[in-house]
């Protein structure tokens, strides 16, 4: 952990030092140019244009003849000016060469392009950590064409993410400044897949402080960490070990059920999909029962469950269940059935943006 922090610090210090030294080199050169111009004006009594011209050809080592004949003091000053020019130009060339070799200019261009991309991000997802878990999350997002940005402190991970065509930003996800760089205030959800439970906790706390309404999903390595992350504001906490163990047990005890559910969730089963639909105040079905709304008969989609606004989950709702504002319908059906259900819940006249389509949906006829 300490070595990673020192590595990030040294990288930042290196670019900061290069920028400062390049600035100093340019200032030194301009100072020498100014000293030469003023010196010729004072020593030789030339006008500013002749003094500037003589200084320029001296610094450039062009070898043109003198503008006016020089006396002894002028020649001594010219010799000193030549030495100053050699030192200043040598320093500039040295700093510029190091900047090119170290990739400073490429890094500046990359950061500017990255900043422009961040300005256009809206309603996106933030994936913190590009390890094994983070890679799987981003692969799923990419397959469903979900806008997202990867955040990792390791430059190697960022380079690998960029090679895959992902937006990626290097930085510590637990810092407010880093989260603001990836437009946390406009993001829908943040997924914390960092290797340390402490880092995930700090990131969730920072994210919830900057954007209280953002949905935070975090990875945990133990049950104790899961409890702390929930207390820290995480909306969902997942332990790969606990979840993986449960799925392995379910696959052993109920293999057909697991195949069916996995196929629907992952999109491997192209016949049926599961989607969620939010009932807002403009939905014409608010206040109606499922029987009155006739969602099943009109669309063919099946309402599996309803999550109330207070968090209550109604599994297998019956015909008398009333649809309320803020309800989240969890529905299953074919791609056409889900599209039809979306039209029923959010008619075009209401100008409601449709939910994202399920992965690998065939095009409309």
For residue 234, give the CATH number of its domain: 3.40.50.720
Three-state SS annotation for 21-77: HHHHHHHHHHHHHHHHHHHHHHHHCCCHHHHHHHHHHHHCCCCCCCCCCCCHHHHHH
**Can you say whether the dihedral through the CA atoms of 336, 342, 347, 353 is positive or negative?**
negative
For residue 291, give the CATH number of its domain: 3.30.70.1450
With respect to residue 97, please indicate whether it lies within any of the assigned structural domains.
yes
Residues 217 and 277 in one domain: no
CB 250 within 8 A of CB 236: no
**Count of domains observed in the chain:** 3
Residues 97 and 131 in one domain: no
| Residue 148 phi, psi dihedral angles, 5° rounding | -150, 165
- Cα(165)–Cα(299) distance, rounded to whole angstroms? 37
Give the pLDDT of residue 351.
Answer: 37
With respect to residue 257, please indicate whether it lies within any of the assigned structural domains.
no
With respect to residue 212, please indicate whether it lies within any of the assigned structural domains.
yes
With respect to residue 258, please indicate whether it lies within any of the assigned structural domains.
no
With respect to residue 210, please indicate whether it lies within any of the assigned structural domains.
yes
- Max CA distance (Å), the chain: 108
CB 208 within 8 A of CB 192: no
- Cα(224)–Cα(289) distance, rounded to whole angstroms? 41
With respect to residue 290, please indicate whether it lies within any of the assigned structural domains.
yes
Residues 195 and 300 in one domain: no
From first to last of its 365 residues, what are the pLDDT tens digits of the chain? 444 444 444 555 666 777 787 788 888 888 888 988 898 888 888 888 888 888 888 877 666 666 678 888 888 888 888 888 888 888 888 877 877 776 676 766 766 766 777 777 888 999 999 999 999 999 989 988 889 999 999 888 988 998 998 988 888 999 998 999 889 999 999 999 999 999 999 999 999 999 999 999 999 988 899 999 999 999 999 998 888 888 889 889 888 888 887 777 766 656 788 888 989 888 899 999 999 999 999 999 999 999 998 989 999 899 999 999 999 999 998 888 998 999 898 864 343 444 444 444 444 44
Residues 128 and 234 in one domain: yes
With respect to residue 113, please indicate whether it lies within any of the assigned structural domains.
no
| Residue 168 phi, psi dihedral angles, 5° rounding | -145, 140
Residues 65 and 131 in one domain: no
DSSP tag of 183: T
Residue range of the domain that includes 335: 269-350
Residues 222 and 144 in one domain: yes
């Amino acid at each position: 952990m300490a070595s990673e922090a020192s590595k990030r610090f040294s990288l930042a210090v290196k670019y900061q030092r290069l920028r400062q030294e390049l600035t100093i080199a340019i200032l030194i050169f301009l100072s020498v140019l100014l000293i030469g111009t003023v010196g010729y004006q004072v020593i030789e009594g030339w006008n500013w244009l002749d003094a500037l011209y003589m200084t320029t050809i001296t610094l450039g080592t062009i070898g043109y003849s003198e503008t006016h004949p020089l006396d002894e003091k002028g020649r001594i000053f010219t010799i000193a000016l030549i030495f100053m020019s050699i030192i200043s130009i040598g320093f500039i060339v040295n700093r510029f060469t190091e900047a090119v070799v170290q990739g400073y200019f490429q890094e500046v261009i990359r950061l500017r392009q990255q900043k422009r991309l961040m300005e256009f991000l809206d309603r996106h997802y933030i994936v913190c950590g590009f390890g094994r878990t983070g890679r799987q999350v981003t692969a799923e997002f990419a397959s469903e064409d979900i806008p997202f940005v990867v955040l990792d402190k390791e430059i190697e991970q960022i380079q690998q993410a960029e090679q895959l065509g992902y937006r990626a930003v290097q930085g510590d996800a637990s810092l407010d400044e880093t989260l603001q760089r990836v437009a946390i205030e406009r993001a829908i959800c943040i997924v914390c897949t960092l290797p340390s439970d402490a880092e995930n906790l700090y990131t969730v706390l920072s994210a919830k402080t900057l954007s209280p309404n953002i949905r935070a999903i975090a990875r945990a390595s133990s049950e104790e960490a899961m409890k702390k992350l929930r207390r820290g504001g995480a909306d969902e906490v997942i332990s790969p070990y606990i979840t993986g163990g449960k799925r392995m047990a379910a696959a052993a005890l109920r293999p057909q059920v697991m195949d069916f559910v996995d196929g629907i969730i992952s999109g491997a089963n192209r016949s049926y999909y599961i989607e969620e639909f939010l009932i807002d105040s403009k939905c014409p079905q608010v206040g109606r029962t499922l029987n009155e709304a006739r969602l099943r008969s009109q669309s063919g989609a099946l309402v599996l469950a309803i999550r109330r606004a207070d968090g209550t989950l109604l599994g297998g709702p019956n015909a008398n269940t009333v649809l309320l504002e803020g309800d989240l319908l969890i529905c299953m059906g074919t791609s056409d059935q889900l599209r039809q259900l979306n039209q029923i819940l959010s008619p075009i006249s209401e100008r409601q943006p449709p939910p994202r389509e399920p992965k690998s949906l065939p095009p409309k006829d």
